[in-house]
Amino acid sequence: MTVMQPSVLNLKELPSDLDRNRLPRHVAVIMDGNGRWAKHRGLPRIMGHRQGVDALKKLLRCCKDWGIEALTAYAFSTENWGRPLEEVDFLMTLFERVLMRELQEMIEENVRIQFVGNLAALPRSLQDQIERSMTATQGNSGIQFTVATNYGGREEILQACRAIATQVQQGKIQPDEIDEALFSRYLYTANVCDPDLLIRTSGEMRLSNFLLWQMAYGELYITEALWPDFDRTQFHQALSAYQQRHRRFGKV
Ligand code: IPE
Ligand code: IPE
Ligand code: MG
Looking at residue 8, its pLDDT comes to 56
- 35 CA → ligand 1 middle, Å: 5
**How confident is the model over 192-229, as pLDDT tens digits?**
999 999 999 999 999 999 999 999 999 999 999 999 99
Any ligand 1 atom below 6 A from CB of 76? yes
Looking at residue 11, its pLDDT comes to 77
Q: Is residue 9 part of a domain?
A: no
Any ligand 1 atom below 6 A from CB of 35? yes
Ligand 2 atom nearest to CA at 227: 5
- Of 114, 73, 75, 64, the residue nearest 198 (C-alpha): 73
Q: Is residue 59 part of a domain?
A: yes
Whether the CB-CB separation of 47 and 40 falls below 8 Å is answered with: no
* Pairing of the two strands 197-200 and 144-151: unpaired
- 234 CA → ligand 3 middle, Å: 19
Neighbours of 149 (CB within 10 A): 23
- 32 CA → ligand 3 middle, Å: 5
Determine the straight-line distance between the first and last CA of the chain, rounded to whole angstroms. Answer: 62
Strand partners, 29: 73, 199
- Of 180, 131, 130, the residue nearest 160 (C-alpha): 180
The residues annotated as belonging to the active site are 32, 80
pLDDT > 70 fraction of the chain, expressed in percent and rounded: 96
Angle between helices 45-66 and 232-244 (to 10 degrees): 60
Q: Which domain holds residue 230?
A: 22-151+195-243
- 62 CA → ligand 3 middle, Å: 24
Task: Spell out which residues line ligand 2, taking CB within 6 angstroms.
Answer: 30-32, 74-77, 80, 204, 206, 208
Q: Is residue 127 part of a domain?
A: yes
Single pTM value for the model: 0.96
The enclosing domain of 46 has a CATH number of 3.40.1180.10
Q: Is residue 232 part of a domain?
A: yes
Has residue 76 got a pLDDT over 80?
Answer: yes
Q: Is residue 178 part of a domain?
A: no
Q: Is residue 140 part of a domain?
A: yes
Q: Is residue 172 part of a domain?
A: no
Any ligand 1 atom below 6 A from CB of 189? no
Task: Band the pLDDT of 2: cuts 50, 70, 90.
Answer: low
Please give the tally of structural domains in the chain: 1
Q: Is residue 103 part of a domain?
A: yes
**How confident is the model over 162-192, as pLDDT tens digits?**
999 999 999 999 999 999 999 999 999 999 9
Q: Give the CA count within 13 Å in the CB-facing half-sphere of 72.
A: 25
